[in-house]
Structure 1
């Protein structure tokens, strides 16, 4: 595993490759993002993008969801993987929002993770994207990148990856790093035919990097 400064160097170089990386999924409010992150688990962005607009129109708020049923929700998301479970999660979490949070998506980690279908990754996405809080979400792209580039040990858990990243880069960069790593994972550090070695800046002088923060100028 790389030492702190070297691991930090790799992350910063990825961020420099994608300085303007932002979430690709469009949404208008935290409840729409909540539904998106539930749908996104073990599913492609493309499959979620195809169903989200009709889903948003039919279910503009949690009240509309609980006046429906999981079976009806299924008809809107049946092309998304694990759609039956996800329909149940959307239905149950909507009821929880109405019962516990006056129909509003909460903005604390503990409260978010109390919702059905929302785990640590989804909670971090909501905290960072919907509420502009410092949080770092670990998805399959982040996991692959961190292990391939030895930022973490090969057997590191998502929690350990989150702890490692949030320890070696400042909190103000957590959201930017997550988005940049998603783009890097989709385009360069892919599951097959990785192109990482086409970017020598990720590897050059990695044991002699300047530990000062180079990102403010980006």
Structure 2
């Protein structure tokens, strides 16, 4: 953008409305340009900074989106949506600690923000903090039980935890019993559907060995 323009509010509104139109039709590159024109008229328009940031997120220009949200939040630090979307953009840049901090700010302002809870859950999964991520998805489902994405993510976490437990159990059990080939296949193929069967077979083998080795 160039330096601030001297113009009338009608011109600024025209560019803003064009930006909304292009955003609504999925033409985010044109939307970003339009909001840029708004900001040439008024660099203190927090709403235009936020909307430009959203368009840039859709274009996967996450570094630029973060800058937009920083400007928006300088002007309106109480904007929970801007904190949430800044956190999302930072998460995409793998700046996870900063992302979580932003998402926590969003949740402090709006504890029922499903977007912020979803983003925080994603960051916690990326950090392998699965129990905390589960709590985020549980909160989403408590707010809105129809949020299937939260239920899906929750199930994936449970499956991942069960897979890791099976892998650890196999590592210990193979020291004392012969592990069936299909159990190794479950692990090799990450066959989440076979975890329960593999775990049951492992438990049965270990129980049989306990009986065989019991004093007696």
TM-score by length of 1: 0.27
Higher relative contact order (CA 8 A, sep 6+): 1
| Higher Cα radius of gyration | 2
* TM superposition score normalised by structure 2: 0.28
Question: In proportion to residue count, which structure has more helix?
Answer: 2
